[in-house]
Protein backbone atom coordinates (compact mmCIF):
# COMPACT_ATOMS: atom_id res chain seq x y z
CA UNK A 1 0.00 0.00 0.00
CA UNK A 2 2.74 2.49 0.94
CA UNK A 3 4.62 1.66 -2.26
CA UNK A 4 1.48 2.49 -4.28
CA UNK A 5 1.22 5.86 -2.54
CA UNK A 6 4.89 6.54 -3.25
CA UNK A 7 4.47 5.59 -6.90
CA UNK A 8 1.36 7.77 -7.17
CA UNK A 9 3.29 10.71 -5.69
CA UNK A 10 6.03 10.27 -8.27
CA UNK A 11 3.58 9.94 -11.17
CA UNK A 12 1.69 13.00 -9.95
CA UNK A 13 4.80 15.19 -9.76
CA UNK A 14 6.15 13.94 -13.09
CA UNK A 15 2.79 14.71 -14.69
CA UNK A 16 3.25 18.35 -13.69
CA UNK A 17 7.00 18.75 -14.28
CA UNK A 18 9.09 16.41 -16.41
CA UNK A 19 12.32 18.39 -16.06
CA UNK A 20 13.11 17.08 -12.60
CA UNK A 21 16.27 15.17 -11.89
CA UNK A 22 16.21 12.13 -9.66
CA UNK A 23 17.87 14.17 -6.90
CA UNK A 24 15.28 16.98 -7.11
CA UNK A 25 12.42 14.51 -7.22
CA UNK A 26 13.77 12.69 -4.15
CA UNK A 27 14.14 16.01 -2.34
CA UNK A 28 10.57 17.08 -3.12
CA UNK A 29 9.15 13.81 -1.82
CA UNK A 30 11.55 13.37 1.10
CA UNK A 31 12.93 10.08 -0.24
CA UNK A 32 16.52 8.89 -0.24
CA UNK A 33 18.21 8.66 -3.62
CA UNK A 34 18.33 4.88 -3.26
CA UNK A 35 14.57 4.66 -2.70
CA UNK A 36 13.91 7.06 -5.57
CA UNK A 37 16.13 5.04 -7.89
CA UNK A 38 14.32 1.83 -6.90
CA UNK A 39 10.85 3.36 -7.44
CA UNK A 40 11.77 4.95 -10.78
CA UNK A 41 13.15 1.64 -12.05
CA UNK A 42 9.95 -0.12 -10.93
CA UNK A 43 7.80 2.48 -12.72
CA UNK A 44 9.95 2.12 -15.84
CA UNK A 45 9.71 -1.68 -15.73
CA UNK A 46 5.90 -1.41 -15.51
CA UNK A 47 5.92 0.87 -18.56
CA UNK A 48 4.53 3.86 -16.65
CA UNK A 49 7.47 6.19 -17.33
CA UNK A 50 10.17 6.61 -19.95
CA UNK A 51 13.71 7.43 -18.87
CA UNK A 52 15.67 9.54 -21.36
CA UNK A 53 19.05 11.24 -21.30
CA UNK A 54 19.46 14.98 -21.71
CA UNK A 55 20.90 15.15 -25.23
CA UNK A 56 22.45 18.62 -25.15
CA UNK A 57 23.77 18.44 -21.61
CA UNK A 58 27.52 18.24 -21.05
CA UNK A 59 26.86 15.81 -18.22
CA UNK A 60 25.50 12.83 -20.18
CA UNK A 61 24.68 10.97 -16.97
CA UNK A 62 21.63 13.17 -16.32
CA UNK A 63 18.20 11.78 -17.16
CA UNK A 64 14.67 13.08 -17.38
CA UNK A 65 11.48 11.17 -16.73
CA UNK A 66 8.31 11.28 -18.80
CA UNK A 67 4.95 9.67 -18.17
CA UNK A 68 3.84 7.23 -20.83
CA UNK A 69 0.17 7.07 -21.88
CA UNK A 70 -0.11 3.99 -19.66
CA UNK A 71 1.40 6.03 -16.81
CA UNK A 72 -1.13 8.82 -17.28
CA UNK A 73 -3.97 6.30 -17.20
CA UNK A 74 -2.56 4.54 -14.14
CA UNK A 75 -2.13 7.88 -12.33
CA UNK A 76 -5.79 8.71 -12.99
CA UNK A 77 -6.95 5.32 -11.73
CA UNK A 78 -4.78 5.66 -8.62
CA UNK A 79 -6.22 9.14 -7.94
CA UNK A 80 -9.79 7.83 -8.22
CA UNK A 81 -8.97 4.90 -5.93
CA UNK A 82 -7.37 7.27 -3.41
CA UNK A 83 -10.44 9.53 -3.41
CA UNK A 84 -12.80 6.57 -2.95
CA UNK A 85 -10.74 5.33 0.01
CA UNK A 86 -10.73 8.78 1.62
CA UNK A 87 -14.49 9.17 1.13
CA UNK A 88 -15.07 5.77 2.75
CA UNK A 89 -12.87 6.80 5.69
CA UNK A 90 -14.75 10.09 5.97
CA UNK A 91 -18.14 8.34 5.97
CA UNK A 92 -16.92 5.85 8.59
CA UNK A 93 -15.66 8.66 10.84
CA UNK A 94 -18.89 10.60 10.39
CA UNK A 95 -20.88 7.49 11.32
CA UNK A 96 -18.68 6.87 14.39
CA UNK A 97 -19.11 10.47 15.54
CA UNK A 98 -22.87 10.37 15.11
CA UNK A 99 -23.05 7.08 17.05
CA UNK A 100 -20.93 8.56 19.83
CA UNK A 101 -23.31 11.47 20.34
Residues 32-91: tens digit of each pLDDT: 999 999 999 999 999 999 988 766 656 555 677 888 999 989 999 999 998 999 999 999
Query: Three-state DSSP class for 54?
Result: coil
Cβ-proximal residues to 66 (8 Å cutoff; 6+ apart), any chain? 14, 18, 49, 50, 52
pLDDT confidence of residue 56:
60
Q: How far apart are CA 32 and CA 1, in angstroms?
A: 19
Q: Is residue 25's pLDDT more than 60? A: yes
pLDDT confidence of residue 88:
96
CB 10 within 8 A of CB 16: no
CB 19 within 8 A of CB 27: no
Q: What is the DSSP string of 60-96?
A: TT-EEEEE-HHHHHHHHHHHHHHHHHHHHHHHHHHHH
More confident residue, 3 or 101: 3
Q: How far apart are CA 36 and CA 22, in angstroms?
A: 7
Domains of the chain (ranges; CATH) run: 2-100 (1.10.10.10)
Amino acid sequence: MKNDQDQFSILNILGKNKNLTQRKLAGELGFSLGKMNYLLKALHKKGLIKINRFKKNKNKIRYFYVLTPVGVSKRSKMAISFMKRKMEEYEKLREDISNYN
